[in-house]
Structure 1
Amino acid sequence: MGVITYDHEITSSIPPSKMFKAFVVDADNLVPKVLPQAIKNVEILEGNGGVGTVKLVTFGEGSQYKSVKHRVDGIDEANYTYNYSIIEGDVLEAGDLEKISYDVKIESAADGGSVCKTKSTYHTKGLKEIAEEKIKEGKERAHAMFKAIEGYLHANPHAYN
């Protein structure tokens, strides 16, 4: 198995506690509202939302993919960290990937906002390479989701206080 890792940072004017609540804790409800073309719904298949929970994420009509299973590997609300893996779905079914793991940390920024730092780890079958274009597409989708949530929080300043 090969491992390919990429880091990505996104800044926001929203404080970390509020962004974490919206982007992580309530993402299953909020993302389908703010980006229905990207994610149609999220259904818990196993667990209660904590570590070990398995979710079925069904993508919207604007996506090239149908669905993925996502497993919660870690969540620390006090330190604003979240770890999860895509363990099944058509994102992986091209045959090159066993899973994709994500480590998310939302930190305070000097201006009172936040910085979302994400480490994406692609676990390939054998020594397969992942096209740079696929990585770029994933980063762009994550960036769009983060900014859509930020926009929602600006439009709804009392949400997630």
Structure 2
Amino acid sequence: MFGKLEHELEMHVPASEVWDLFGTLRIGQFVEQEMTELFQKVELIEGDGGVGTVLKLTFAPGIPGPTSYKEKFTKIDNEKRIKEVEVVEGGYLEHGFTLYRVTFHVIEKGEDSSALKSTIEYEVKEEDAANASLVSIEPVANIAQLAKNYFSRNKAAKEAKQ
């Protein structure tokens, strides 16, 4: 069984700023700092932020489901501003999923405007099809909203200094 969920959020900053966060290792640090209610720790296991980089995400105590998983950067296209990350160990793979991929696509809308399109694609074995209900776009939508708030705070701080 294959599924796909999407979310898009306008960002009121240039696409280059959004990509500097989502296209690099900074997103792991950002998630660890800003989403403490969901994630306890985000660790760099191997790599330098390029394709092949592996991160281990450990959930905060009390979060239902797996306690952690490892994800690998499988595609980074700096020109098109697309990054794909796949779960390679633990997490959804322990619940019958054969694929769990998150794609972030930063879309330029104008000089000071962009959008972040987040997509989750998954494949789950037929005998575990009921587990598809575990997939939610909400965590990536929350990351996008926290990033938008972060960019707004930074923009306001810069304007206040001028």
Structure 1 ranges of 4+ moved more than 4 A: 130-133
Aligned to 2:37: 37
After superposition, residues 82-161 of structure 1 pair within 5 angstroms as 82-94=83-95, 96-110=96-110, 112-126=112-126, 128-129=128-129, 133-135=133-135, 138-157=136-155
Measured at CA, do residues 14 and 97 of structure 1 come closer, stay the same or move farther in structure 2, by a change above 3 Å? Answer: same
TM (normalized to structure 1)? 0.81
Aligned partner letter, 1:145? I
Is residue 14–residue 114 contact of structure 2 (8 Å, CA) maintained in 1? yes
Q: Could you tell me how far apart the structure 1 residues matched to 2:23 and 2:5 are?
A: 20
Pairwise CA distance, 1:10: 2.0
- Name the one with the larger helix percent: 2
Give the alignment's Cα RMSD to 1 decimal. Answer: 2.5
Query: Helix, strand or coil for the counterpart of 1:32?
Result: helix
Aligned to 2:5: 6
Pairwise CA distance, 1:58: 1.2
Aligned partner letter, 1:42? V
Query: Helix, strand or coil for the counterpart of 1:93?
Result: helix
Aligned partner letter, 1:24? G
Measured at CA, do residues 39 and 89 of structure 1 come closer, stay the same or move farther in structure 2, by a change above 3 Å? Answer: same
Aligned partner letter, 1:123? E
**Structure 1 unaligned blocks of 5 or more:** none
Is residue 22–residue 104 contact of structure 2 (8 Å, CA) maintained in 1? no
Aligned to 2:49: 49
TM (normalized to structure 2)? 0.81
Deviations for 1:59-82, whole angstroms, at most 9, x for unmatched residues? 224632421110110112232110
**Structure 2 unaligned blocks of 5 or more:** none
Query: Helix, strand or coil for the counterpart of 1:48?
Result: coil
Pairwise CA distance, 1:156: 2.2
Is residue 14–residue 113 contact of structure 1 (8 Å, CA) maintained in 2? yes
Q: Please identify the structure whose Cα radius of gyration is greater.
A: 2
Pairs aligned (count):
155
Aligned to 1:70: 71
Deviations for 1:110-133, whole angstroms, at most 9, x for unmatched residues? 583211223321121246435664
